[in-house]
Amino acid sequence: MDIKGKNNKINLLEFGAEDLGAVVGGLGMKPYRAAQICRWIYSSGADSFSAMTDISKTDREKLSETAEIRPPELSKRIVSHDRTEKYLFSLQDGEKVESVLIPDEGRLTLCISSQAGCALGCRFCLTGAGGMRRNLLPHEITGQALVAERLAVSGAAPDRQAHEGRRITNIVLMGMGEPLLNTENVVEALRRLISPRMFNISPRRITLSTAGVVPGIKALGDSGLGVNLAVSVNAPNDEIRDSIMPVNRKYPLKALVKALKDYPLAPRRRITVEYVMLGGINDRPEHAAELGRLLRGLKCKINLIPFNEHAGSIFKRPEAASVLTFQERLHSMNYTAFIRESRGADILAACGQLRGLSARKTLTEEKPGV
Ligand code: SF4
Please indicate, yes or no, whether residues 125 and 250 belong to a single structural domain of this protein: yes
The whole-angstrom separation of Cα 116 and Cα 98 is 9
Is pTM beyond 0.85 here? yes
Name the band, by pLDDT with cuts 50, 70 and 90, for residue 79.
Answer: confident
Please indicate, yes or no, whether residues 92 and 16 belong to a single structural domain of this protein: no
Region 204-211: mean pLDDT is: 96
* Whole-number pLDDT of residue 164: 53
**Statement: residue 368 has pLDDT above 90:** no
Residue-range definition of the domain harbouring residue 52? 10-68
Q: Which of 53, 68, 83 is the last residue of a domain?
A: 68
5 is a domain residue: no
The whole-angstrom separation of Cα 264 and Cα 215 is 14
Please indicate, yes or no, whether residues 19 and 100 belong to a single structural domain of this protein: no
327 is a domain residue: yes
The whole-angstrom separation of Cα 340 and Cα 344 is 12
Please indicate, yes or no, whether residues 166 and 153 belong to a single structural domain of this protein: yes
**Statement: residue 359 has pLDDT above 50:** no
Please indicate, yes or no, whether residues 131 and 100 belong to a single structural domain of this protein: yes
The whole-angstrom separation of Cα 364 and Cα 30 is 48
The whole-angstrom separation of Cα 225 and Cα 33 is 27
* Whole-number pLDDT of residue 343: 65
Please indicate, yes or no, whether residues 181 and 117 belong to a single structural domain of this protein: yes
Substitution site in 122, 172, 217 for ligand 1 pocket (most atoms within 8 Å of beta carbon) = 122
Please indicate, yes or no, whether residues 319 and 251 belong to a single structural domain of this protein: yes
The whole-angstrom separation of Cα 11 and Cα 66 is 9
- Residue 111 near ligand 1, beta carbon < 6 Å: no
| Contact criterion met (CB below 8 Å) for 158 and 104 | no
Question: Quick one: which atom of ligand 1 is closest to the CA of 118?
Answer: 8
Backbone angles phi, psi at 335, to 5 degrees: -95, 150
Please indicate, yes or no, whether residues 42 and 98 belong to a single structural domain of this protein: no
64 is a domain residue: yes
2 is a domain residue: no
* Whole-number pLDDT of residue 313: 81
| Contact criterion met (CB below 8 Å) for 262 and 216 | no
- Backbone conformation region of residue 140, classed left if phi is above 0, alpha if psi is from -120 to 50, else beta: alpha
pLDDT digits (tens, 9 = 90+) for 257-282: 999 999 999 889 999 999 999 999 99
Name the band, by pLDDT with cuts 50, 70 and 90, for residue 351.
Answer: low
Task: Decide: helix, strand or coil at residue 92.
Answer: coil
3 is a domain residue: no
CATH label of the domain that carries residue 42? 1.10.150.530
Please indicate, yes or no, whether residues 24 and 153 belong to a single structural domain of this protein: no
Please indicate, yes or no, whether residues 59 and 101 belong to a single structural domain of this protein: no
DSSP state of 78: E
pLDDT digits (tens, 9 = 90+) for 115-151: 999 999 999 888 878 899 999 999 999 999 999 998 8
170 is a domain residue: yes
* Whole-number pLDDT of residue 106: 84
Question: Quick one: which atom of ligand 1 is closest to the CA of 210?
Answer: 3
| Contact criterion met (CB below 8 Å) for 138 and 130 | no
Substitution site in 120, 208, 214, 348 for ligand 1 pocket (most atoms within 8 Å of beta carbon) = 120
| Average pLDDT of every residue of the chain | 89
Please indicate, yes or no, whether residues 163 and 299 belong to a single structural domain of this protein: yes
* Whole-number pLDDT of residue 5: 61
**How many domains does one find in the chain?**
2
366 is a domain residue: no
215 is a domain residue: yes
| Contact criterion met (CB below 8 Å) for 72 and 43 | no
* Whole-number pLDDT of residue 104: 86
DSSP state of 43: I
- CA of residue 190 to ligand 1 center, whole Å: 20
- Residue 125 near ligand 1, beta carbon < 6 Å: yes
Question: Quick one: which atom of ligand 1 is closest to the CA of 209?
Answer: 2
CATH label of the domain that carries residue 355? 3.20.20.70
**Statement: residue 158 has pLDDT above 60:** no
- CA of residue 123 to ligand 1 center, whole Å: 9
| Contact criterion met (CB below 8 Å) for 125 and 349 | no
**Statement: residue 350 has pLDDT above 60:** no
Region 338-366: mean pLDDT is: 53
Please indicate, yes or no, whether residues 264 and 327 belong to a single structural domain of this protein: yes
Distances in Å between the Cα of 252 and the Cα atoms of 122, 124, 212, 228, 234 are 14, 18, 9, 22, 12
pLDDT digits (tens, 9 = 90+) for 297-347: 999 999 999 998 877 789 999 999 999 999 999 999 999 999 998 765 555
Which residues are part of the catalytic machinery? 98, 351
